[in-house]
């Protein structure tokens, strides 16, 4: 039953273009921070600063999680991490763009900070991130009950 639910929802999500674009954004953000210790360290520094100023409730620094398309829990964790880190990620990407740090690293493998920042600031992306957070949390609970 769990597998059928997973297949049905995956097929439904796959037919919605906006959800596919959020999936691409999740993957691009994960790659941006996962494959560069400098970029990951910069996000950690922003979180430390936000915590000192009282803008972050967590005691530990959070990381951008990888969304594995065959598992609800990983998808939900990836969405929740982006939701919780939204402000810190935007600040970090903005800093990378304005300081020129993104271009100085010469990383041609993935999306640039400028592209990611532009995507993160689109209303529809943020709307779907929050919507998918809610949907995935319900689906995770449903999967555990079945």
**What confidence tens digit (pLDDT) does each residue in 15-59 have?**
788 888 999 999 999 999 999 999 999 999 999 999 988 877 888
Helix (H, G, I), strand (E, B) or coil at 122: coil
State pTM to two decimals: 0.86
Mean pLDDT, residues 86-111: 82
- SS3 of the chain: helix, strand, coil, percent, to 5: 75, 0, 25
Whether the pLDDT of residue 70 is over 70: the answer is: no
* 122-136 tens-digit pLDDT: 999 999 999 999 988
Whether the pLDDT of residue 65 is over 80: the answer is: yes
pLDDT value at residue 12: 74
What does the alpha-carbon distance between residue 104 and residue 107 come to, in Å, rounded to a whole number?
8
Q: How confident is the model at residue 146 (pLDDT cuts 50, 70, 90)?
A: low
Q: What does DSSP assign to residue 1?
A: -
102-141: string of b/e by CB count within 10 Å (b at 16+)? beeeebeebbbbebbbebbeeeebbebbeebbebbeebbe
The residues, any chain, with a CB within 8 Å of residue 137's CB and separated by 6 or more, are 76
Q: How confident is the model at residue 116 (pLDDT cuts 50, 70, 90)?
A: very high
What does the alpha-carbon distance between residue 72 and residue 75 come to, in Å, rounded to a whole number?
5
Query: What's the whole-number average pLDDT of the chain?
Result: 86
pLDDT value at residue 119: 96
* Chain Cα centroid distance, residue 94: 16
pLDDT value at residue 107: 57
In the numeric block, which tokens belong to residue 52?
A: 């000192």
Q: How confident is the model at residue 106 (pLDDT cuts 50, 70, 90)?
A: low
Task: For residue 66, report the phi and psi dihedrals to the nearest 5 degrees.
Answer: -85, 135
Whether the pLDDT of residue 5 is over 80: the answer is: no
Q: Which DSSP helix (H) or strand (E) runs through 45?
A: helix 37-52
Mean pLDDT, residues 83-103: 91
Pick from 138, 46, 29: nearest CA to 81:
29
């Amino acid at each position: 039953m769990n597998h059928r639910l997973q297949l049905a929802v995956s097929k439904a999500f796959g037919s919605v273009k906006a959800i596919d674009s959020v999936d691409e954004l999740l993957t691009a953000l994960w790659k941006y921070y996962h494959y560069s210790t400098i970029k990951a360290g910069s996000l950690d520094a922003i979180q430390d600063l936000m915590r000192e100023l009282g803008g972050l409730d967590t005691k530990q620094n959070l990381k951008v999680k990888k969304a594995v398309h065959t598992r609800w829990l990983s998808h939900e964790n990836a969405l929740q991490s982006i939701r919780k880190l939204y402000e810190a990620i935007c600040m970090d990407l903005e800093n990378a763009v304005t300081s020129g740090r993104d271009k100085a690293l010469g990383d041609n493998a993935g999306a640039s900070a400028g592209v990611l920042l532009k995507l993160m600031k689109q209303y529809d992306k943020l709307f779907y991130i929050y919507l998918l957070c809610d949907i995935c949390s319900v689906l995770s609970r449903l999967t555990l009950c079945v």
